[in-house]
A and B are shown apart, each in its own frame.
Chain A
Amino acid sequence: MRRTGAWRAATAVIAFAAVSVQAGPPTKIALTGGRIVPVVGPEIEKGTILIEHGKITAVGASVELPFDAMEVDVSGKVLFPGLVNAHDWQGLDIPNENLDIGAALDVYDAIDPSRLFFENSLRDGVTTVHIIQANNCVIGGISRVVRPIGLDVDEMTVRPRAGVKMSASPKGGYDRMTQWAILREAFAELADYRERLAEQRYEEEQKKLKKDVDVGPAEARKRGAELIRPQDYDDAHANLHELSQGRLDAWVYVGAATDVGPAVKFAKENGFFDRVVFVLGPDTFKAVDELKAAGRPVVLDVNLDFRERDPLTGKLSETFVPKVIADAGLTFALLPHPDASLAERYLTYQAARCIREGVARETALAAITINPAKMLGLGDTLGSLEVGKAGNIVVYGGDPLDFNTWVEQVYIDGILAYDRAKDVRIRRLLEEPGAEEKPKEPAGDSAASDQTQQGDKPEAGEGAPDPAKPENKGENKPDSPAPPKPSPGPGDDEASVERASDRADRAESRRRKDNPRSKGGPDA
């Protein structure tokens, strides 16, 4: 018994130690003095956000801070919820699988944490990414919501099995007739499989009871239907079954207006309508009345304006899609453009364009934060700066929608995941060619912050000013106090970042060819 007790105690200690190692970040951090744009609720001109154990525990103009909270002065800055990228394939090594009915597939197997995409997401203020198969598919597979930090997929994961990707528009090389035949076949086959499974289960049960199978197949199937256990479904059918029972979200690409009606009908017939999110193509907005009637959330195409020529007069007309969608009162999310050389890659830019074209500011801001969070089933934990939500905060240098504003810092679950002052790439990009010596500095600093990782309470680096004294904290100083960060973020050792990025870049350019968007979508 004594030995057992000791054993227990030891286990407890080890477990505690493990927990404390895992909970690397400071348990309490307060961002003070910044303008808070919470997206939900009114703005606070000068306020404080307190994050405890990765969650926001207080937001307000005056917050009483616990004595042990690390205070970071962000006066003059703007605090904004971490942006949510509602739909992106770029974290995958390949955007699509060839297999038509790939319900059994999971992006878990294909997410590459070393991709430059994640680093860029962080740099652009995105704290949550929904990694999902691209639109060039029939039934693409299971998606996953991740943070752009972490060394492996498990560490990155926010929500596994976020949804099943499907496309109501033809996959490359297919036509609509074929696409729909395959989609219908998938569910017809599921029904057939279920019946056979029922029959088999009935026979198995009868066998267990040492009874003969004394009824015809039709009766056997009826009787066996209730005997099916979830584990009886094989891999190929399990996810589709879950979907048809309304236990999985569906993300359905509707690449053209004409696909909306059939997609809605299909979702209703197969039991997942209440859990469907429509991913729209460039001209799908034309079916806005049908989308409105469906009332399901939508993700807009990366190209916000749609141009078309009149076939009779040749006259060019242009429609700003988010305005149409917003006017219809639909919940929508904006996407960043996958082409990193365009301004459209910034979600904030996409939102700013919406505002310029007459969409209400709250609506536009919601479209890059709380709306995608809700679509991902994470509306309670992400997407706004409210008490109880995750400490995903972007510290902007100015108004988030101003194109001249930089993302200064990004906190994910209270972890300082990005700090522009330590962003080697940005520094290399913007610095004068003569000043090549400087980049050495952050390396030493990150080593310093690595040391702080060991302790519960962050200590200042060598010679670093006390974070509590805001006057000492220059904007360009690379040595602002950094809480420990476990991610291979941009602040890491330069050489290793370089190597990883080269690899990522090569892969990127190779993959660009497979990107259905760059080919004009599966409709082309």
Chain B
Amino acid sequence: MPDRENIPAKVRRFRACQINPALVTLGCAAFFWATEATSAYPADRGGSLVIRAGRVMPVADGAPWVIERGVIVIRDGRIEAVGAEGEVALPPDLPVASFPDETVMPGMIAASCDLAGFHRGVESVSGAYTAVDAFDVYGDYRVILAGGVTAVHLDPGRHRLISGVGAVVRLGGSPTERILSERSALQLNFLESAYSPPLDFNYIFPASSDVAIEPGRRQAPDSRLGQQPTVRAALEAALSPTPDAAFDFHRRALGAWTSGAGGMRVRADRAGDLRQAIEFLRDRKGGVVVSGGEVNGVGAELAAAKLPLVFEVPLQAGRPAGNLGTHPDVLARRVEALEGLADVPLALTVGEGHDLSDLRLAAATALRAGLNERRIIEGVTRRAAEILGVGDRIGSLAPGKDADLLVLSGDPLSTTTHVRKVYVRGATAFEPPSEGALVVRAGTVWVSPERVIEGGEVLIEGGKVAAVGRAVPRPPYAKVIDAGDDAVVTPGFIDARGHLGLRGDGGSPAPDVKLSKAIGAPDVTDLRTAAAGVTTVALSPYRGGGTTGAQVSAIKSGGRSRGDRVIRDTAALIFDVSDADPAAAAEQLKKRLEAGKKYLESWQKYEKELKEWEEKQKSGQAAEAKPAEKEQTTEVKDDDPITGTWSGTLSGGPLPNPETGKVALRLTGTQIEGRVIEPAVPVDHKITGTFDGEKGIKGQIEVDTQGNGYPEFELTLDRTDHMTGVIRFMGITVNVEGERVEKKPVEFKVERSKTRGKDGRPLAPKVDEGLEPLKLLLEKKIPAVVRVSAHTQIDAVVKLIAEEFELPLTLVDAEEASVHAARLAEKKVGVILPVNVVRTRQYVPYVQGDDLSRAGVVVAFQSDAEDGARSLREVGMYAVERGMSAEAALAALTTNAARLLRLDDRVGSLEPGRDGDLVIFDGPPFEAGTSVRRVIINGEEVR
């Protein structure tokens, strides 16, 4: 250090006069403002897109408060245009984000917050601490962004009289673009917490016996009395420092504020402190008052001094305080204080220590104080930005401003509203981590025939209906579709017999074929069907079934993947006896059912044995291992792989040309017997052989070869009704290929090992895919769906299936069902109505559906078409027009169809637990003027 003592006192005095206070101030200011230099890194350009929203709230000068169906054009992170759809030219090069049900507003700004924490310095008065230093520009603030706050003012702490310099920062977007204002204002705290600051020690290095560490310096203020003089003195001192005084960085840093160049904000809670703050700032001709306290009555003074106010709305949600003071409703009183601030520019923020993500809720409580929606929303957007000096960048949606905006699920100040998405400079800064829940609100929610809610809501979570009622929960990030008071919400329609996705395949599938295998992810046709409101199709073959039965799969017309689409692989077993003689058909059906019964019994027996065995195992009496036993079983099978007439071709070897022939074969157990039919020979050539049960066939043809042995064959059943292999005779090998040209069901005996495993565990019977659906039917898990026509057929089928076997039965078409209406109702036999629902009886038209449902028969509609299912609503409309009640028609398309097909645990109603499939109509569903507005499948909208 220069030796001060050697300089003549006169000279020192002389110099003291020479120092130009303005120069010092400027110098200090230059030093501190120099750090404002812009980042040296290439700026992030920001996103470019067009946002279309149901409602846009620009909160801008000269703009309407709300723009219905608004458009925002964003380029390079800045707003290019805002307006109603149609008024704004849409640039063709930009992607479009659509939010038809949402409200878009500017990102909210908390005009004061303690996110920066407080500095650990001891100085009671310092301009050297800058809150921006404490801000993590790489921080992940999505939890706050999720609350809709995109920018905040960082306070440098409330623990010192002058605690430092605040900053305005964004909470999202590119790290290099987050700082909006590095030095917003000097923070003064006229608060009790700033009284009695700690002793200020000046550590000297190196300390020694000559250079002692002095005791700590006491700092002001000790009380309310001292705060204003201390501030004034400090600013004075910064303006004209004594040249010989020790270097005081903290006070010098106040330099920028002494001339009034920098902004200043004073925080005060008590009425007395607030008056001091107002007085102080009025003398300085500017500044901001920040308060969460007794602002009652200072409104006029603030307005007179033209000082804006940042008010911390007390919010006790989530952490009720222990002692709120003497007033019965101290919160209300504080909030009500805002009433007197009619002329004061007002920004709202949350109280100290409170979650910034609650800003919207806190602001909304100011409604209680009589502030209108407009003032409150401005208080967290545009006014806040203006008060913080960043109004030219953020706070409103106007051309030239940064595209920091929120997508809300509804009204900004409603507690049931959620933030759905946040954009910062046109780039997504927050979006829900998972596909959120969906809430659909409508004037009428038709849950099921038993439950219709006027003015109701449906909550769909995870693809399922989670709640239905007048007001359902709104989980975080929920999307809300408010369909309006005229809208009717119904479950998705069910096509009780359709062919969607079969692409005209009119084949008659075997009983083991699952039609759902033909379904992939939804294509355009599927989605068109879905968009018409038909969400579920009982996928049936065009024809077929006969008395053997074919499987019906239940699928959805929409969904993300194939897995989403299939409700049940086997939803029903369909038979068709509409062209058959009733008695003969009944007999064949019976045979089929009995085969199924036997199969079911073998399984039931096995399950019983298994249970017993397991119990034994549990009780420790492990059955002794027994050698596998052989058991003779007789099976009637029409799928005997060998028996029948085979036509074959011999080729290769010494044969110059292929020779053809025919043989008859018969399988008994594993033995094959047969004879050669063609070429005809005088003496039957007997064929004997064995079948290994799987594929292989070995044997010989007993033809007289004069002692050269019989020709031997070795064949393989390479596919059904087809075999290939060789015949060997006298060293010659000839290739054989055979095809079964005729087959008939035969009774044959099979020998196989008894159904016990090594450890005595019963072995499961062989799974027969062809009989599996029958098993399900006989277990009453799926219904039998029988296509019938005449009343005699109906009689026979009902008698057999519903009465004798007591199985669930649904009739298809059944034009003459009315004859048996009472009986059908009694036996709970449903009817899937023919496509043409209007029929005539003795020249009088009538609607069969009405007829039957009045008699108590459960009915459903079918399309008998692929994407023709789209007109299913018109089928219902037609029926209603001809006299069926709209209620019954709606039930027939939803709940009843689901009940008939045993799908009511998944679809057909909007009860909780069912799939989130619903249709939003803009009026009563069967009115001609009503259209399908939107369709939801598994909680996701079909577009």
Contacts and interface: CB of A to CB of B under 8 A. Distances in A.
Contacts of A524: none
Interface stretch (B78-86, B114-122, B399-407, B745-753): B114-122
A173 B2 contact: no
B137 A217 contact: no
B10 to A, nearest CB: 10
Contacts of A220: 15
Interface string A305-316: 000001111000
B60 interface: no
A289 B126 contact: no
Contacts of B40: 264-265, 268, 293
Given A177-B164, A178-B129, A200 B119 contact: no
B35 interface: yes
Contacts of A176: 133-134
B249 A185 contact: yes
Given A184-B128, A188-B31, A257-B175, A217 B134 contact: no
Interface in B26-66: 31, 34-35, 37, 39-42
Contact of A179 (B37, B133, B143): B133
Given A177-B133, A213-B11, A256 B138 contact: yes
Nearest to A310: B433
A200 B131 contact: no
Given A179-B133, A312-B143, A265 B35 contact: yes
A216 B31 contact: no
A257 B140 CA distance: 12
B34 to A, nearest CB: 8
B226 interface: no
B19 interface: yes
A217 B13 CA distance: 10
Contact of B139 (A100, A258, A290): A258
Interface string A294-312: 0000000000000000111
Nearest to B20: A218
A269 interface: yes
Interface string A193-234: 100110110010000000001001110100000000000001
Nearest to B141: A311
A340 interface: no
B175 A258 contact: yes
Given A175-B119, A178-B119, A217-B19, A265 B41 contact: no
A213 B11 CA distance: 7
B128 A185 contact: yes
B123 to A, nearest CB: 9
Interface in B413-445: 433-434
A287 interface: yes
A92 B6 CA distance: 42
A177 B134 contact: yes
Contact of A217 (B15, B120, B126, B433): B15
Interface of B (DSSP majority class): loop
In this complex, the member of A101, A184, A197 whose beta carbon has the largest number of chain B beta carbons within 10 angstroms is A184
Given A176-B134, A185-B249, A203 B6 contact: yes
A175 B117 contact: yes
Contact of B205 (A99, A173, A203, A289): A99
A312 B146 contact: yes
B156 interface: yes
B73 to A, nearest CB: 28
Contact of B18 (A216, A286, A312): A216
Interface string A81-111: 0000000000000000001111010000000
B243 interface: yes
Interface in A227-245: 234, 236
A240 to B, nearest CB: 13
A76 interface: no
B41 A289 contact: yes
A451 to B, nearest CB: 48
Contact of B41 (A188, A192, A257, A293): A293
B136 interface: yes
B460 to A, nearest CB: 21
A307 to B, nearest CB: 14
B134 A286 contact: no
Contact of A181 (B19, B23, B129, B136): B129
Contacts of A180: 130, 133
Contact of A104 (B18, B128, B205): B205
Contacts of B31: 188
B158 to A, nearest CB: 13
Contacts, number: 131
A311 B140 contact: yes
B863 to A, nearest CB: 43
Interface string B437-459: 00000000000000000000000
A124 B472 CA distance: 66
B843 interface: no
A196 B136 contact: no
B176 A290 contact: yes
Nearest to A179: B133
Contacts of A268: 40
B131 A177 contact: yes
Contact of A178 (B7, B121, B143): B121
A269 B249 contact: no
B1 A175 contact: no
A199 B138 contact: no
Contacts of B846: none
A174 interface: yes
B135 to A, nearest CB: 7
Contacts of A283: 138
A289 B121 CA distance: 32
In this complex, the member of A178, A236, A283 whose beta carbon has the largest number of chain B beta carbons within 10 angstroms is A178
Interface in B383-415: none
B142 interface: yes
Contacts of B23: 218
Contacts of B134: 175-177
B176 A261 contact: yes
Contacts of B19: 216-218
A177 B116 contact: yes
A200 B176 contact: no
Nearest to A171: B120
Interface string A256-287: 11100110110011000000000000010011
Interface string A61-91: 0000000000000000000000000000000
A189 interface: yes
B583 to A, nearest CB: 66
B175 A216 contact: no
A289 B42 CA distance: 9
Contact of A261 (B1, B116, B137, B143): B137
B3 interface: yes
Interface in B136-163: 136-140, 142-143, 146, 156-157
A338 to B, nearest CB: 26
B805 interface: no
Contact of B14 (A216, A258, A265, A269): A216
Contacts of B34: 269
In this complex, the member of B23, B37, B249 whose beta carbon has the largest number of chain A beta carbons within 10 angstroms is B249
B121 A181 contact: yes
B153 to A, nearest CB: 15
Per CB-CB distance, the 6 closest pairs between chain A and chain B, nearest first, are A200-B2, A216-B18, A257-B138, A177-B119, A217-B15, A185-B249
27 contacts: A177-B131, A177-B133, A177-B157, A178-B119, A180-B130, A181-B119, A181-B121, A181-B133, A185-B250, A193-B1, A213-B7, A213-B8, A217-B15, A217-B18, A218-B19, A257-B137, A258-B135, A258-B136, A258-B137, A261-B41, A261-B137, A261-B176, A264-B40, A269-B34, A286-B175, A293-B41, A313-B433
Given A100-B203, A213-B11, A312-B433, 20 more contacts: A102-B205, A175-B134, A177-B121, A181-B126, A181-B249, A184-B249, A185-B128, A188-B247, A189-B249, A216-B18, A234-B1, A236-B205, A258-B136, A261-B175, A265-B40, A269-B35, A287-B138, A293-B42, A310-B433, A312-B146
